[in-house]
Structure 1
Amino acid sequence: MLTQPSQKYRAYPVVNLPERQWPARQLTQAPIWLSTDLRDGNQALFEPMNRERKLRLFHELVRIGFKEIEVGFPSASQTDFDIVRHLIDDGLIPDDVTPMVITQLREDLITTTVRSAAGARRVIVHLYNAIAPAFREIVFGMEVPQIIAMVEQHVGLLKRLTDQHPETQWVLQYSPETFCMAELEVSLAVCNAAIAAWDAGPERPMIVNLPTTVEVSTPNVFADQIEWMDRNLARREHIVLSVHPHNDRGTGVACAEQAMLAGAQRVEGCLFGNGERSGNLDVVTLALNLYTQGIAPGLDFSDIAAVARIAEECTALPIHPRHPYVGDLVFTAFSGSHQDAIAKGFAAQQAGALWRVPYLPIDPQDLGRTYDSIVRVNSQSGKGGIAFLLQRDWGIHLPRRMQIEFSAIVQRLADASETELSSQQIWALFEATYLQAHQQHPALRYQGHSLFDDAQGQGIALQLGADSASARTLRGTGSGPIAATVAALNQPLRIDSYEERSTGAGADACAVAIVEAALPGVPGSRFGVGRHANIVTASVLAVLNAAARFAQTAA
């Protein structure tokens, strides 16, 4: 029975720190950020990222503003080794970005790691070994003096190897893995041994990284551990104190926040908390928590949906709809009392004033989100019913984010009419919004198209105009009909998602294409739908309808 205490487990002891300072402190600045998406996050995937996806995510991390990025485990993976060399040899690492490579304490692995990173402007080499009693006794069969000697030996080796490459600035990062489960005196002795072996100082920068490899206690205990280490580390003025929280107890973000109060200057994590077991620190959540306290995070999440889509595509992991700040439903209130309070908050909110909208800790527009889906009918009488009627009566199955958008549109009509909307009325609204938008804009009104092969890919000749006689022909080339259509429109339109479905059967079958598009500088996204017997024509119409909806916004 889980209702009774178990003799299988024990509570980890609290830290004897009677004059702890961190509870009275207040965060005033963002930490140094290190993204571990390409290593810690990558090794936790069902299928690790290939070269293309890993490079795509690297460039996105650079765009977001990360100045330190763990790019891989080059001694354990030929793919990682090759990617590290590609980034360095092809000059793809900006001058203000430092890559990090990780390795265990083994001579051959350290040698390979140095070889992978040699020639870079600046590199962090991350050495780690587990030090907690269970690991010392069960995994390694070693005593503490042997652990210390092993650290001294391998840090000394790294120092000798890196001294042979003075063209690169080498930074040592040492992590006593399982720090949160180890005796503090042992952690201090091991870290000080690494500091002395590296000879940390003004010309020999060093990071001491303290991980909650597996969360085993409450965040306040971890903060006490960090403050104790902060007080006692040797050569503290020459050390960057870092933390790497995992999320086994669901408190990874809390551990990071309290560790920063306790003296941590740097945090490691993944964009949306991906990592082994329950994941690790969610960098997006921590960064935006700081933002809501008036602290500039130094990372650009002003188009959070685009960041989420890239992360989902690269990792093949979906983001939960209730994920803080980024989930599709996180700014959606179904409760009537919540809706009322939010509506009154928006009515009272003044431009440039302190943000005071109830139930919303952050302005969605700061993240590139819109207000359209915030106040809407609940799942019993609104979104669920609308989606059900469209699927049952009209054969249209809406993607989840489109359900959110369309239910807000239906809600506005329901509020104006003050009557219950029929299935026919909902379908008429759907047609006008998503299927016929292009007809309201003569410059985008579809008259026909033809496809042609091009040396660069698929070409399209698109006839648009008020009627066939006055139609103009636009040409574009892309990887397929959708990309070619976007190119022909000559707009910075970005297609974030595409789905195709069919309605009916036999001679009455019809193809339905749904696109989600974004336009730089315009908050949120827009959906467009095309319906035609030919799926290519349906896709072209979907893009035109999405573009027309952006034009409606501009008008």
Structure 2
Amino acid sequence: MFDHRKYKAFEPIHLTDRTWPDNTLTQAPDWCSVDLRDGNQALVNPMSVEQKTRLFDLLVKLGFKEIEVGFPSASKPDFDFVRKLVDEQRIPDDVTIQVLTQAREELIKRTYEAMAGVKKAVIHVYNSTSTVQREQVFGQSREGIKAIAVQGAQWVQQYAEQHPDTQWSFQYSPESFSGTEMDYAIEVCDAVIEQWQPKSGRDIIINLPATVEMSTPNRFADQVEYFCRHLVNRPYVRISLHTHNDRGCAVAAAELGVLAGADRVEGTLMGNGERTGNMDVITMGMNLYSQGIDPKLDFSNIMEINEVVESCTEIPVGVRHPWAGELVYTAFSGSHQDAIRKSVNYHSEHNKQHWDVAYLPIDPRDIGREYEEIVRINSQSGKGGVALVLERDYAINLPKWMHTSLSTVVQSAAEESGVEVSPSNIKRLFDEHFIAVPTQWQLDDYDLHTDEHHVSARFRIGDQSFNGEGAGALEALCSALTTAFHCSIEVVQFDQHAISGGTDAKAQASIAVKINGEAYFAVAVAGDTSAATLQAMLTAFSRTGLEAVQAA
């Protein structure tokens, strides 16, 4: 089934006199965050109004002057969020919010209802123009698709006139621009712009989406340069880019697109978006920063940005994420560590004006980070270092919430010995305190009976049997232990993942539990996730020293 002949190469436009390769980025583009619209629609769990508000406040703090806040005609949560921003006057005077709508009158009307009373805003209307969409989705001719765009532009203009106290900007996107014939894309955009009276002084934006990334970034730059050259009213509009990351090149495509003549870039913090994501504003902004260009956005506290984005999107920031990842300013190689150390000292001794340190493209302190070497463990070592040793040397991956308890055990051993704790000793301490379990607390067998959302279970533990009920196997086990030992049990944290594949597959489970108010941590490995989870619970419980209450 893996047959490359199923696909054909992207057909580039003919542009032999392209100029963009000789251009240089000298200033940041206008930025528009689409985290709250495009980013939100790509989430497994869309953001609540409260989460959206928190992320909006962060975007304002970072310096975004244009923020797409939703698709208010498409959902009540988006409508309510826009109304919250307007009614509570949460939009600073120097910030323009943007909303998206399809080119349909009832949706455009609803969009203006959501925006009533706003001081200034961008109405972003779109319809798809690509060959594939015209032929296979809409069954429309070129003229039919252009008529939809023109009619949408007219409705946007007409409804704006009903709200004369608002400063309106208009934006049009020929969706799937990169899959549209360039001359036709220009024809449609010229027709839309003409409806909006380009010479009147109104802010008009033409947004060029690589809705699906179809080619290398240089081909996209050719499209942008060709478009900018041939658009009739180019002097009266801002050209915006909205690149997606299907080929992993969204940032590169945006950077080259700006070289090719674009004025503005839409994207999201950390690149969240449909499929592989949107253009990553932090990456592109920090790329500019590393070249001595003011990105016009403040990324000086990258840890705060990470925390808010993770909290609002429920997507962890990758440890190798460019500029923002947990490990990108950490050197694991001894030779790298030595070079960085010497280079930093050279900077200090020679009072160099510009940053030029081996292996570090920027000074991590600029964004609230520090350079970190790989950690060798002693009494002064941090919790992350101990977990890294287990991961590096023994392929044991622990959730972050276990790092502190593990570090406490290792640090106590280091303080007692007064010397460095070797990786083998770290592994021994881990096994002793979190894995080892007495024979009488080993899970021999279990039997589950499920009735709708309810589980009845019998557990064979050592030489004893316990019965319990609950919503799942773990809850049933907690119920059985609570009854047998007259105690209270609260599962605080829980993690499980596969650690091998194939016929010898294994699973690892980690648990943090409070038993009679005391915290216990344990890890177990078993043939499946259920067995590993149950054993982790039993291992943690074995540390309590509780004895079963004898029946009268």
Structure 2: gaps of 5 or more residues: 378-384, 430-491, 495-509, 522-552
In the TM superposition, 1:349-388 aligns within 5 A as: 349-350=347-348, 353-371=353-371, 373-376=372-375, 384-385=388-389
In the TM superposition, 1:124-523 aligns within 5 A as: 124-350=122-348, 353-371=353-371, 373-376=372-375, 384-385=388-389, 399=401, 423=425, 510=519
Displacement of 1:336 after TM fit?
2.1
Partner of 1:15: 13
Partner of 2:445: none
Instruction: Report if aligned partners of 1:226, 1:264 keep a CA contact under 8 Å in 2.
Output: yes
Evaluate the alpha carbon distance shift between residue 65 and residue 149 of structure 1 in structure 2; reply closer, same or farther with a 3 A threshold: same
Displacement of 1:10 after TM fit?
1.2
Cα distance in 2 between the residues matched to 1:297 and 1:68: 15
Q: Helix, strand or coil for the counterpart of 1:38?
A: helix
Q: What is the aligned length?
A: 432
Q: Deviations over 1:519-552 (max 9, x none)?
A: xxxxxxxxxxxxxxxxxxxxxxxxxxxxxxxxxx
Displacement of 1:56 after TM fit?
0.8
Instruction: Report if aligned partners of 2:178, 2:211 keep a CA contact under 8 Å in 1.
Output: yes
Displacement of 1:229 after TM fit?
0.8
Instruction: Report if aligned partners of 1:328, 1:401 keep a CA contact under 8 Å in 2.
Output: no
Letter in 2 for 1:182: T
In the TM superposition, 1:100-115 aligns within 5 A as: 100-115=98-113
Evaluate the alpha carbon distance shift between residue 335 and residue 404 of structure 1 in structure 2; reply closer, same or farther with a 3 A threshold: farther
Q: Helix, strand or coil for the counterpart of 2:118?
A: coil
Instruction: Report if aligned partners of 1:322, 1:328 keep a CA contact under 8 Å in 2.
Output: yes
Displacement of 1:387 after TM fit?
7.7
Cα distance in 1 between the residues matched to 2:399 and 2:286: 33
Cα distance in 2 between the residues matched to 1:78 and 1:130: 24
Cα distance in 2 between the residues matched to 1:302 and 1:163: 41
Displacement of 1:202 after TM fit?
4.6
Residue 33 (structure 1) aligned with residue 31 (structure 2): yes
Cα distance in 2 between the residues matched to 1:397 and 1:151: 50
Evaluate the alpha carbon distance shift between residue 405 and residue 258 of structure 1 in structure 2; reply closer, same or farther with a 3 A threshold: farther
Cα distance in 2 between the residues matched to 1:54 and 1:93: 13
Letter in 2 for 1:213: T
Q: Helix, strand or coil for the counterpart of 1:39?
A: helix
Evaluate the alpha carbon distance shift between residue 405 and residue 211 of structure 1 in structure 2; reply closer, same or farther with a 3 A threshold: farther
Q: Deviations over 1:85-132 (max 9, x none)?
A: 121122110000000010001110011111211221111000011111
Cα distance in 1 between the residues matched to 2:407 and 2:238: 46
Displacement of 1:499 after TM fit?
7.8
Instruction: Report if aligned partners of 2:386, 2:403 keep a CA contact under 8 Å in 1.
Output: no
Displacement of 1:385 after TM fit?
3.4
**Deviating more after overlay: 209-218 vs 141-150:** 141-150
TM-score, length-normalised on structure 1? 0.71
Runs (4 or more) in structure 1 with deviation over 4 Å come to 386-389, 396-406, 416-424, 498-512
Evaluate the alpha carbon distance shift between residue 505 and residue 365 of structure 1 in structure 2; reply closer, same or farther with a 3 A threshold: closer
Cα distance in 2 between the residues matched to 1:26 and 1:74: 38
Cα distance in 1 between the residues matched to 2:27 and 2:285: 11
Q: Deviations over 1:383-438 (max 9, x none)?
A: 5436899xx9xxx98548879999xx99x99xx968958959x99xxxxxxxxxxx
Displacement of 1:26 after TM fit?
0.4
Percent of pairs with identical residues: 46
Cα distance in 2 between the residues matched to 1:307 and 1:405: 26
Q: Select the structure of larger CA radius of gyration.
A: 2
Evaluate the alpha carbon distance shift between residue 422 and residue 154 of structure 1 in structure 2; reply closer, same or farther with a 3 A threshold: closer
Instruction: Report if aligned partners of 1:98, 1:122 keep a CA contact under 8 Å in 2.
Output: yes
Query: C-alpha root-mean-square deviation of aligned residues, in Å?
Result: 3.6
